[in-house]
Structure 1
């Protein structure tokens, strides 16, 4: 790659200060909610299995437009998607040809001692896939001028779409890490060393990907933004190390500690190390003279990412809105409790930001306490939104059974009507199923496009053609594998 272009490209993504929380919420959360609402309306009112191209148009293109051409005019997307969702919601739900069985297990099955199988939660699948999809779109879009600079990663302080995207990826991975506990609560009390070795073995391929990426970047003179993670460190390495650290919390959680407050405590420890321990000054001013200092951002941010990764344990362990797998799930109760957590995280975030607890502002570079709280608030809001959409478009006709103390769905007897049940869009399920492989593919495609195209000089038309084709390839692969 031409050295002058490489320098220009590095400057193109450097020294940025970000946008506002409201703007980011509008172009990502609100657009994502409304696109899923439109798709849910199609599923429940028109066709339970929309065509792949229609799903792509509803679920992918609005996200892409929201971070590119319409990033500074999100109202156009919000009004258009909102009107479509409202129009679909006003239609009567489509009756199916034959009744479907109830999703609620019988009381006897609810307390079965057979090994737990993790049932798919549509809202959770939608959340994870949409977060991954936004990340996949953004990592290439940021290289084009059509992607506003205020949405790219901030140099040190500030909020941006890509900054929250990094934390959201870690947050979503943390939710998955709670699955062994949901399957078997005694997993928390199992000996720690074997669990650490097991998690480390699973993380080894990701570490390998991180090292391969380092070699490729150095070997091809690919543009680097060193202040993101360091000279050799990258996101793959962070993603591999954090789960190993998480296992160390298991003995504390097993003793009944509140997971939510443990996450806050870890975040406060990170903040104390930054401000009192001087790590913030080390990150900002220390020369890159040693291997440690060359990768100071990645290393110093690890404990903060550990806190981000721990927050979803709230939704998968003892103090959670998601009930144990041995009990029936009540989506309305789940949404209510998620609402409480949403208020808690946003309140803590704005308090920390008002009192400048993290220094000047939110910092993804150092993963300070305001950043941790922001990621927790943002992603809990996303989870709440997807649960609310399921309740709105796929209501469960339940009544309270005083005998069992559970909510039971009416039996599907003769003449009973059957409607589409909540499920994640098939496209998002496909993305969710092969998340890491698709993320790797997206990184490879991003590298190939940047090595063959001078993206920072591309017109908006050329950029949108490339980005749409890129999104289409990733989604096609998700469907195909």
Structure 2
């Protein structure tokens, strides 16, 4: 790559200061609005599974929100909502039918009972001491949208059509790409709740065997991190060292955090998981504020392996805090009742068996989406209020993804909890009324756990698709001088790129391409 162009490209994504939290929320809101439009279309038209329609309704609005309409997010959001309302109110609805969930779950009693879905589990006297979980459409949609926005942004950021205020900030500030990195870790935490829900006693098991087991699971991420490092250095690809460091990259962070989680298991048996996560974020911020750690991270020279990768190493505690708070969110979202895991944990670690011989006897028969929504709202309000307080007090000097400081942790947690709540509400209020043959059909006789086959497919093979997106991004940048491309040319490339990624997901919609 030409040295002058490489320097110009690095400058193109350097020294940026972002925008505002409200603006990022407005841009992101296209995801929820597109989902409502999709629900309206599926409830009024007898549409068979179709890649193009799913891509047009669910993916193109996300791409438009960060490119053509990025400077006018309310116009896009309002247009999508207006179209959804017109379709919903002017066209006759199709006959309602009970929704079918994933093949491993029960049929709901009626669309109106969607907020209290049956939760199968062992008989009350079976002696089983675990939390019953089931596939959840809201979680699938949330993870798929998070992955989609990330894959779209990593290529779009290389074009001028992607506003600079949406690109990653140099040190302090907020942007769409800044929230995307943290959302990845938070999402990882949510699904990391599954093994603990299935076996809460895992928290008290010996640490070393768990570390070995987790290390095997994250090995693919380590391999991807090494592959990225080699490819970037080997092709002289433009890189931004102040993001994570000279050799560190986000794959290494994603691999390290689950291992660090295991070290917190003992504390999680005595205190709430969200409290443990917040405590780590607070200790991390105190270290940044009361010691030379922040000055070292931002200004020290890169001498030796540690200082060369200081950003990636120092930010680990902040990302661990996000992961744990995401895990706590998973223990609320995934069970049939938001308090089910807390009751079982108390029975296992804080009470004798004589005091509570059968924790499963209190298991709810139906999924209590109303109570789950209320608790998610409470957590979202807590994180937003906390973020407001630390902002007024200027704690940490502002939001910093580079440091993963306390304001950044609180912002990531507030943002993701709020959007999960929105997806849960939309699932209960809108998708519950779509006929079953419209919401859960998939080729090959298998049923999916979300009303969108495309979103289910993206969630199913997220890691493979993310790898493919990185490869395609690299190929485009090696073939095209993206920072000099016109907006029209950029949109042709970005639309083709997004359709190719969705096409790969669609081809593999009935199977996992890689299960690490």
TM over 0.5: yes
Tell me what 2:179 maps to: 164
Structure 1 pair 140/418, CA: closer, same or farther in 2 (3 Å)? closer
Asked if the contact 1:125–1:424 (Cα under 8 Å) also holds between the matched residues in 2, the reply is: no
Tell me what 1:317 maps to: 331
Asked if the contact 1:315–1:322 (Cα under 8 Å) also holds between the matched residues in 2, the reply is: no
Structure 1 pair 364/37, CA: closer, same or farther in 2 (3 Å)? same
- Which shows bigger deviation, 92-101 or 257-266? 92-101
Structure 1 pair 424/112, CA: closer, same or farther in 2 (3 Å)? farther
Asked if the contact 1:94–1:419 (Cα under 8 Å) also holds between the matched residues in 2, the reply is: no
Does residue 1:192 correspond to 2:230, yes or no? no
Does residue 1:464 correspond to 2:491, yes or no? yes
Does residue 1:384 correspond to 2:412, yes or no? no
Tell me what 1:365 maps to: 402
Q: Deviation string for 1:284-325 (max 9, x for gaps)?
A: 111111111000000000000000111112223379874649
Tell me what 1:353 maps to: 391
Structure 1 pair 82/6, CA: closer, same or farther in 2 (3 Å)? same
Measure, in 1, the Cα distance between the counterparts of 2:301 and 2:99. Answer: 68
- Which shows bigger deviation, 454-463 or 271-280? 271-280
SS at match of 1:260: helix
Measure, in 2, the Cα distance between the counterparts of 1:298 and 1:352. Answer: 24
Asked if the contact 2:51–2:503 (Cα under 8 Å) also holds between the matched residues in 1, the reply is: no
- Which shows bigger deviation, 283-292 or 420-429? 420-429
Tell me what 1:17 maps to: 17
User: Across the two proteins, how many residue pairs are aligned to each other?
Assistant: 460
Structure 1 pair 316/187, CA: closer, same or farther in 2 (3 Å)? farther
Deviation at 1:346, TM superposition (A): 0.4
SS at match of 2:219: helix
Tell me what 1:56 maps to: 55
Q: How does 1:201-216 map to 2 (within 5 A)?
A: 201-216=216-231
Counterpart pick for 2:476 among 443, 449, 455: 449
Measure, in 2, the Cα distance between the counterparts of 1:61 and 1:318. Answer: 32
Q: How does 1:132-171 map to 2 (within 5 A)?
A: 132-171=147-186
Tell me what 2:411 maps to: 374
Measure, in 2, the Cα distance between the counterparts of 1:64 and 1:107. Answer: 39
Q: Deviation string for 1:105-133 (max 9, x for gaps)?
A: 38886748478774210001000000010
Tell me what 1:180 maps to: 195
Structure 1 pair 110/480, CA: closer, same or farther in 2 (3 Å)? farther
Tell me what 2:346 maps to: none
Deviation at 1:78, TM superposition (A): 1.1
TM-score by length of 2: 0.84
Deviation at 1:451, TM superposition (A): 0.7
Gaps of 5+ in 2: 101-106, 110-116, 342-362, 441-448, 509-516
Gaps of 5+ in 1: 397-416
TM-score by length of 1: 0.90
Structure 1 pair 258/89, CA: closer, same or farther in 2 (3 Å)? farther
Tell me what 1:44 maps to: 43
Structure 1 pair 132/266, CA: closer, same or farther in 2 (3 Å)? same
Measure, in 1, the Cα distance between the counterparts of 2:82 and 2:380. Answer: 26
Tell me what 2:118 maps to: 105
